[in-house]
Amino acid sequence: MKAQKKILKLTMLFMAGLIMSCSITGVGSNPEAILEKDNYIYKEYLDNVHYNIELINVDKEIDSLDAVLAKNPNDEKAIIEKEAAEKSRDIFKVNLSKFVPLEVYGIIGPVWPCDLCLPSFENLKYIAILANSQVALNKSTLEVTIYNEKGELISTMDNQFNPLPGNEENVEYSNFSLVKSYSGPVSIKVFEENNEGEIILNYTLDGFIEDKV
């Protein structure tokens, strides 16, 4: 009987410790959580969508050039363009292979109704990046902006990133929100520049913001 009570007591202590450890991770659904499934965007996820789109486009370009070369194998212009396109394709594939879902670090989401259905005005609070990214290492600066259907800027971003509690070595976050309530089509612009002034990323994605459910 005493042995059973001792085991029960140890089990309860273990569960209490587990709950306490979960409450400070900054992720999940507890009151202390920072990143929830519907309150942030993940910069590397946006990059991944961009690279996938570019890969599809460059594959189409290569197919088109192959058709040209099939008719004229000595077309120097087509040969040069195909070589450049193939190099671009290789780069996109490498970048895609480096994508790390935040679930790897025990972080939920982001869970959206579609690939680029962003959180609502009421929910969106943060942007997350990887701790080993150039931005987190202060080797580049990042600007993510969201524009409504009229081309009006409707987002604001704090460029001061902080380590995510419980995931300090893996993820950083910063404040990111919409400046006014809006639902409908949006353009998501991502611009990243290194400290030497060289542009690393400069792309725009079509997205959508839904009303809060």
Domain spans, the chain? 50-97, 101-209
Helix (H, G, I), strand (E, B) or coil at 201: strand
Q: What is the pLDDT of residues 11-47, one digit of tens each?
A: 333 333 333 333 334 444 444 559 998 899 999 999 9
User: Could you give the percent of the chain with pLDDT greater than 70?
Assistant: 83
Residues 159-179 have a mean pLDDT of 95
Q: Which helix (H) or strand (E) holds 88?
A: helix 76-97
Residues 138-154 have a mean pLDDT of 97
d(CA 65, CA 80): 10
Output the pLDDT for position 112.
Answer: 74
| Average of per-residue pLDDT values in the chain | 86
Phi, psi of 71 (to 5 degrees): -85, -35
Q: What is the pLDDT of residues 87-111, one digit of tens each?
A: 999 999 999 999 999 999 999 877 7
CATH code matching the domain that covers 101-209, chosen among 2.60.40, 1.10.3470, 2.40.50, 1.10.760: 2.60.40
